[in-house]
Amino acid sequence: MADVIVIAGKGGTGKTTLAALLTLELAKKDAGAVLAVDADPNSNLSDALGLQNAVTIADIVDEISKHPDTVPPHMGKEAFIEYRIHREMTESEGFDLLVMGRPEGPGCYCYINNVLRNCMAKLIADYRYVVIDNEAGLEHFSRKTTRVCSELIVVSDGTQVGVRSAGRIFELVEEMDIAAERRFLVMNKSAGVDQAAALKREFRLQGVFAFPLDVTVADFSAKGVPLSQLPQDSGARQGITKVGEQIWPKN
Ligand SMILES: Nc1ncnc2c1ncn2[C@@H]1O[C@H](COP(=O)(O)OP(=O)(O)O)[C@@H](O)[C@H]1O
Ligand SMILES: [Mg+2]
């Protein structure tokens, strides 16, 4: 059963950046199979990881809805969707990638969300680590897409709003009774950890880490260069190695 790492936080705080870097770090460590999950319908985790044209769950669901005759009669629609996702999921060096994608019509979100939840429930058995890049909203928590969570990493910037949003996520996780076994807060872009002391106490966080601002990360993002091309000695790569060592001190 995989270690399921959920990365959450307000939009723009750095969830996708950290999810991509953590995926690459875990893949590099070669400590077991890694699955990265882009659970944000406005997804860009695949770009950050340098994987273009990743097939999404939404693509597969839309295509099957348009061509229902392709569903084998003995299989049923749900099973066929899951079979195709399994078959067409992007595989890369050291990790696989599952992308939720953006559903076409209104009301489709729920359906795609259910497919994602069912797929993840099955895939968890096949991997050592599952890294989930959550959306900025709290939908996945309130819809319980995220039922299993070994490590919850909430990302915040140094702003009051960022820290307050992080607090709301920890609060919701408690309210929804989500079994987030270990909870961490990452203060991104060189934000200080002192302002999070109250959150650490209130929500019994295992750790609050400072993650460095790295101008190369911002530059890559502006130019559309994937984070997989970041040099190993860059601030962000060193930062994620440190975060990994603090979360899994014995590995
Ligand atoms: N540590 C960092 N140093 C420099 N730029 C960063 C850092 N973390 C994130 N960014 C930049 O901030 C922007 C938002 O980050 P992103 O990971 O897309 O946030 P989110 O997924 O939470 O919306 C991107 O342009 C990204 O390159
Ligand atoms: Mg993102």
- Pick the ligand that lies closest to the CA of residue 12: 1
pLDDT at 107: 67
The atom of ligand 1 lying closest to the CA of 20 is 17
* Distance in angstroms (rounded) separating the CA atoms of residues 207 and 202: 13
Q: Per residue in 68-118, pLDDT tens?
A: 999 999 999 999 999 999 999 999 989 999 999 988 776 678 889 889 989
Whether 236 contacts 17, CB under 8 Å: yes
pLDDT at 30: 85
Residue 39 structure tokens? 């659970």
- Pick the ligand that lies closest to the CA of residue 240: 1
pLDDT at 148: 77
Residue 90 structure tokens? 């992007």
Which residue positions in the chain have pLDDT lower than 50? none
The answer, yes or no, to whether any atom of ligand 1 lies below 6 A from the CB of 43, is no
pLDDT at 1: 82
The answer, as to whether pTM is greater than 0.85, is: yes
Q: Whose CA is nearest to atom 6 of ligand 1?
A: 218
- Other Cβ atoms closer than 10 A to 27: 22
The answer, yes or no, to whether any atom of ligand 1 lies below 6 A from the CB of 137, is no
Tokens 């076409």 belong to residue: 104
pLDDT at 146: 67
pLDDT at 251: 63
The answer, yes or no, to whether any atom of ligand 1 lies below 6 A from the CB of 237, is no
218 Cα to the center of ligand 1, angstroms: 7
Q: What domains does the chain contain, in order, with CATH numbers?
A: 3-247 (3.40.50.300)
pLDDT at 208: 96
The answer, yes or no, to whether any atom of ligand 1 lies below 6 A from the CB of 213, is yes
Helix H, strand E, coil C: the string for the chain is: CCEEEEEEECCCCCHHHHHHHHHHHHHHHCCCCEEEEECCCCCCHHHHHCCCCCCEHHHHHHHHHHCHHHCCCCCCHHHHHHHHHHHHCEECCCEEEEECCCCCCCCHHHHHHHHHHHHHHHHHHHCCEEEEECCCCCHHHHCCCCCEEEEEEEEECCCHHHHHHHHHHHHHHHHCCCEEEEEEEEECCCCCCHHHHHHHHHCCCCEEEECCCCHHHHHHHHHCCCHHHCCCCCHHHHHHHHHHHHHCCCC
The answer, yes or no, to whether any atom of ligand 1 lies below 6 A from the CB of 188, is yes
* Distance in angstroms (rounded) separating the CA atoms of residues 213 and 240: 12
Tokens 């000695």 belong to residue: 233
97 forms beta bridges with 36, 90
* Distance in angstroms (rounded) separating the CA atoms of residues 145 and 132: 11
Ligand 1: which of 6, 10, 17, 132 to mutate, most ligand atoms within 8 Å of CB? 17
Residues around ion ligand 2, judged by CB within 5 A, are 15-16
The answer, yes or no, to whether any atom of ligand 1 lies below 6 A from the CB of 23, is no
Whether 6 contacts 153, CB under 8 Å: yes
